[in-house]
Every structure is written in structure tokens, then in C-alpha cells.
Chain A
Amino acid sequence: MRRFLLALPSVLLACTGTIQDGGVEQSGGMAGDGISGNPARGGAGSTGGSSRPGGGTAPGTSTPGATEPTGGVIAGPARPASMAPVSGLRRLTVREYDNVLKDLLLDPTNPSTGFLPDDQRHPFDNDYKAQDPSQALVQGLSLAAREAVNRLMADIPRRDMVVGCKPAGVTDAACFKSFITKFGRMALRHTLTPEQVTKFTTFSALGTEGADFYLGVRLALRAFLQHGSLVYRAERGTPVGNDPTLFKLQGIEMASRLSFFLWGAGPDNALLTSAEGGELDTAAGVRAAAGRMMKDTRAKDLVTRFHAQWLGYETLVSAGDLLIAQEAETSALMERVLFAERRPWRELFTFGETFVNDVLAKHYSLPLPGNTKGAWVVPTDVRRRGLLGQASFFAIGGSAFGDTSPTQRGKAVRNKLLCQVVPPPPPGVKNDALQNADPKACKDLRYAAHRAGGCAACHGLMDPIGFGLENFNAFGQPRATEKGNPMCKISGDGELLGVGTFNGPAELGKLMSDAGLLEPCLVQQLYRFAVGRTDLDTNDMTLVGSITDGLKDTKATLKIDDLMVDLVSSEPFRHRREEVLQ
């Protein structure tokens, strides 16, 4: 029960001063090796290393890793197919649609961005429950498709690669059919039915009428790019036993589930071939395919985006060169820790080096690396370590009313990193005490009211965390005194109630990491991202709890790719449960 609750979206209902049953699991024996690193591999502690943030490999290629992801990290009792999550019709996100067009049309220009309505964030962009089809969507798709096809047709070499054959003449039916068959399979993510081939081949007649083979191609492409099977991920599956709501995903459905979860893009030819050959009908086959896919650059992009959406730094409150530098810093950390060196996931929060260019180093008051592209450095400020020491993190929910708010920062840590919900003040609570406090008083004194009476229980869970991060402003810059109050020196002492004390983001990261507090939230959010649903039902929560339980002995060494491979190859994820119409 204790571990089960760990995985649930903990709601600190009563704010009794301690986190409710199971909210914190003490596991000091599983301390990560944090900032020790391996200098021989350019690891933490090394001041040298690459001058580029990532592996620099082209999209769609694999990055050599020391070992390959094979999963096998989730132990515990079997999770049967009957625990399959509910799945519904999922529209591709704007990013996914652009990725698909990049693969299909060899067009890296994000053709739909700007034309399609923005996806809502919940916090992820793929919550199908929030996807209401609209005129903005359908008209946007129509225009995006037309523009992308027009550009393709103007680029003869690219056009020829996409079409795949050179017509002998305007009426070359064989070439047209070959194009329809091959392109259609990749676009619709399954081999076209004979009826579909016939239907799409009719476009060639318009090409013939217009005396232009490529007119037919153009029209067929536009129809493919607006096709329901491309725009949506429809899963049906085959019925299982006597349960009318339980279905086993077919191979091609599994291929799409794999590719969009692991790549944020459609299946490649190899994956579709595996699916059509029956290889994705077994857990072993799915595991093998997922292992291969996690080595692809697209998986890195996906994992980076997943974290950005989860933690809320996807769009940062800055602009220009600084914004670019901040994004590069965080992406570099992800790429190096999770992929290039395949370190335990929790090292994201303790890693010793960070990737900065001159702009960001100046922003952080660090020695300039003398490099506009950036370099790995060990920050001279020992409080700045891992993701929590980056401007990306400090930009999330940490400020209010013109300065950092210890309450908001503590709330953000609880909510985003620990998946805990601190309830709002109960009815009738007046917050006047804080606002009416002397604005020239030091912050600790101004927040004193939070430590008294009925406020103390909830604020004790938040404010001490925020005070431990006060030595950094809302943009991640160090400071010794409070904003507007130079006489008020900041101690930076903080506490994670019931776990321990800390000073600064490095110690907070290590504290949470060593205590094993972060992985349950990772599992929960990864699950949401995978199923494309924010709201989790009872079955979801049971499954998430079971997975979290299964990580008991592997948390400290857990690698993100292994977790993702295990997740997609599990029985529940190879099945679906039919959504009940409300």
C-alpha cells in the first residue's frame, strides 16, 4: 500500500505537516553517485569534453552507446493484459505532424506550424481528450498540405525521391500505382487496401486530363496528407476473450504506438515491415524493436521534449541568444546523461558539469568558456548542479509579484518534480498578513505568518523548499541579497520536510534523488505521455503503482530508455481498452 501510494498523484489533503502515507520513501541506501562522474568518458568532474551539446548526428540516425537498452528494469508480479489503459482516437500533435511530413516529404521546415492551432498543454501536448476537431484544424491541414506539396513539386530532385519512379509518360500507370502503393503505406502507416489503391489511383486520370503526370501526384499527396489515417492514430485491435472492451493491438497498430511514443514520428519502413511480418505480435519482438528505436536520434529529441513539457520549461521566459543558450544547456544535459553516457536517469539532478556558452556563463556569473557554441564546464558555484541548477528550471512557476516566491517555488517542486498536489487555502483563509507585511522587511520575516496557525501545515511543505533556492533569482542568476532589499542577506537554507535540509539546487537535487522521490513521478508522467491522457482512472493508477513498485531495486540505476522499452513491451501496453461513450 505504501509503495502503491507513491505512484499516485499525491494530494496532500490535510497538510498535516507531514506528507501522507507513502508520500516519501526513505531510501538513503540507494544514493546515486551524483557528481563523481567518469572523466575518462568526459563525465562529471571533467572540465574538458565536447564543444557541442549533443552527439551531432543527423536526425534519424543512431547514436552509438556503451550498452543498448533492453529493458528488464521493472520487476514484480506480472501485469496482465486486463490492466490495459483506455485508448481513444488521437490526433497527431503539431510537432508529430511536422515530423511525419519531414519523413514523408523530406521537408524539415515544419510545414504545419503556424497553420495548425497550437496543441494545449496538460502538461503534455498530446492529450487526446483536449483535441476538439475544428475549422482551424481542418482548414489549416488543407493549407499546410497544399503548401508543402507545392514546395515539393518545385524541388525536382526531392520530388523524384518522394515519388520513387520516373514516369515514362503522362499516363504511366505503373509508376503512378507504384508511387501510390509505396508512399501510401508510409503515409497511412499500413499497406493500402486494394480499394484504397484504386481510389488514389483515380487521381492519375486528372493528371492525364491535364497532360501532367505530376498533377495526379500532387492531388494524391494532398489527399494523403489530410487523410484520417495519417492525421489520427486510430486503434482498434482484435477482441480478447469474453471481455468486450479489451483488444490486443494488431502489429501495425503497435508500430504506430511505438513510433509516436518513442520518436514522436511515424514508423519507418523497417518497423512497418516488422509489424507486417508479425514480429510485433510478441513482447520479445516489441522489446527488440523498441531497443533499436531508442538508439535513434529521434528518441533523444522525444525524451528531451517529454522532460521540457513535464517540467514546464518548454517555453522559457527569455528571448534571443540567452533563450537559445538555455535550451542548448538543458538539451545537452539530457543527451549526455541519458543517451551518450547512459547514466541513471536521476543523475539529471546531480550531474556535475553543465554546457554553457559565453552568453549563459555571463548570465550565471561563471568564467566565460570563450566559446560562442558552448562547452562543458564544472560550475565554480558548487550550488549549481544538475537540472535544478539551470535557468530552465528556475523559469518555472517560481516567481510572483515581481520577485521569487518561496511558496510558488516550493509548490512547483512538489507539483512538478514529485507529482504532489498541495491544496489551495481553505475557504475563508485570508492572506493579508503577507501582503500587509512591511515590504522593506526581509523575506523571512514577511513570510513569518505562513509559519503560524492554520497556515503552517501546508506552507511548511512549500516555503522551506523555496527558501532553499532563494540564492537564485527567477532567471537562475546567483544573488546574495534579496531583490530590492540589499540589507537582507539570503541564507539559502531550505528543508524538504521529513526528508532533510539543504542549501541550493545541488543539494536539493541530491536529497530528492538519494531519497528515491523522483522516479515515481517520472513513471507517472511517462505513463500520461504514453497513453495521451492527463486524467488517470483507477486502473491507470493501479498500473502506475505496480510499475513504480517494480522499480524498487533498480531506481538508483534506472535508465530512461530501459524504462521506456519495458513500458511499451508490457502486456498492458500491447493491449487497449475501449473507451466507454459518455
Chain B
Amino acid sequence: MTINQRIITIAIIVFATMLTRFLPFLIFPAGKETPRFVKYLGKVLPAAVFGLLVIYSLKGVNVLEGSHGVPEMIAIAVVIGLHLWKRQMLISIAGGTVVYMLLVQLVF
């Protein structure tokens, strides 16, 4: 690829990314009444999206080989346990991450 082709490729990636971010706001501008169905989606989607993001962030885990996803399962349990117990975001996140790092570096 020449430098110009690289610039064009990056520009296209930027444009397409921005399209995915701006499109809903362009189709349903603030001044106009948003269709009821879209409003409904706006209310029920986030909970589903957070579920999707949890799976998305775990998509690289292979349960068939290597450590079979055991360190992930333990660390997830730690995050959930800590969060149910203290409900302090930073403690739950830091605790789970430290446990995971120790597991993959020392145990598995």
C-alpha cells in the first residue's frame, strides 16, 4: 500500500466508525418525536447490550483447550461475589483482575 492508499483506508475506517455512532442521532434528531418502537428499544436494549459486552469481552476464551476457561470462571465468581458483598465498583473490578492475573501467571 502506498502512503496515500493508507490515508484513504484510515479515512474510510474513521468514516464508517462515525457512521455507526452518529446514525441513530441523525435518523432520530432531538427536535422530532422519536418513534415509540425506538423509544422502547432505547429502554430495553441497554441491559441486553451489557450482556452482549460481557460475552464479547470473553470471546477469546477457549473452553476446550488450555486452561479450559477455569481462571476466567474463578475470576468472574470473585467479581460477582465482591460486588454482591461490598457493591464498590473499584473493589470488585480490582479484586477480580488481581485474582485473574495471579491465576494466569502463577497457577495455570
Q: Do A and B bind each other?
A: no
Which residue numbers of B lie inside 8 Å of A, CB to CB?
Answer: none
Interface of A toward B, CB cutoff 8 Å: none
